Amino acid sequence: MAETNTIIKRLMPFAGHPRSRIHGPAHWARVHRFGQALSEHLDLSRDGTQCVAVFAWTHDLARIDDGGGNQHAHDGASLLDPAWATVFPDLSVEQVELVRTAVRYHSDGLTAEAAYYHGYFDHLGHDDDEVIAIIGCCWDADRLDLLRLGAQPKSRYMSTDGWRKVLPLAERLHQGRSDE
């Protein structure tokens, strides 16, 4: 996968709110960093780790402002095919569908296991435990970055056991800074 600055540069034309200090490129980069650390703790496959990385870079691309809500997630899932095809051409069809699903539901306030039991992942042709682990890793990486807003991640919204192991990294990264 390309380096951070190259990926951000390639994604900017697709970003709805590219200058956001809350949900923009600095946030994407932190979510990527947390996701890679979580992927290691969870011992995800290479394909799973790649899905987590693509989620990190694309999950907030459809945001048009920094307001709350989940419309950006649902819009992003359906609008991101050009970004994935352009920036991440090596993804398989199965990986694209898994990332699209992770993006679509990332701000619904569920854990990956709860989303699984609600049928959100029924269309995916992967092993159920693997899907829960990969999507949970995506969502936990994003939720660990709540520290940028001065909020502590709450365990009831976290999907994996690994998030507590990555929390010290997130805390160190955010110590003394709110939006970098």
Q: What is the pLDDT of residues 53-73, one digit of tens each?
A: 999 999 988 887 777 777 777
- Closest listed residue to residue 145, CA positions, set 134, 157, 132, 161: 157
Q: Rounded to two decimals, what is the model's pTM?
A: 0.92
Domain residue ranges of the chain, discontinuous segments joined by +? 4-173
Q: Please, are residues 11 and 31 in contact by the beta-carbon 8 Å criterion? A: no
Question: Number of H helices and number of E strands within the chain?
Answer: 9, 0
Q: Could you tell me the fold of the domain covering 4-173?
A: Hypothetical protein af1432 (1.10.3210)
Angstrom distance (rounded) from CA 7 to CA 4:
5
What percent of the chain lies above the pLDDT cut of 90?
A: 65
Alpha carbons 81 and 133: distance in angstroms, whole number: 23
Separation in Å, CA 44 to CA 24, 140, 153: 26, 14, 22
Q: Report the share of the chain in percent with pLDDT over 70.
A: 95
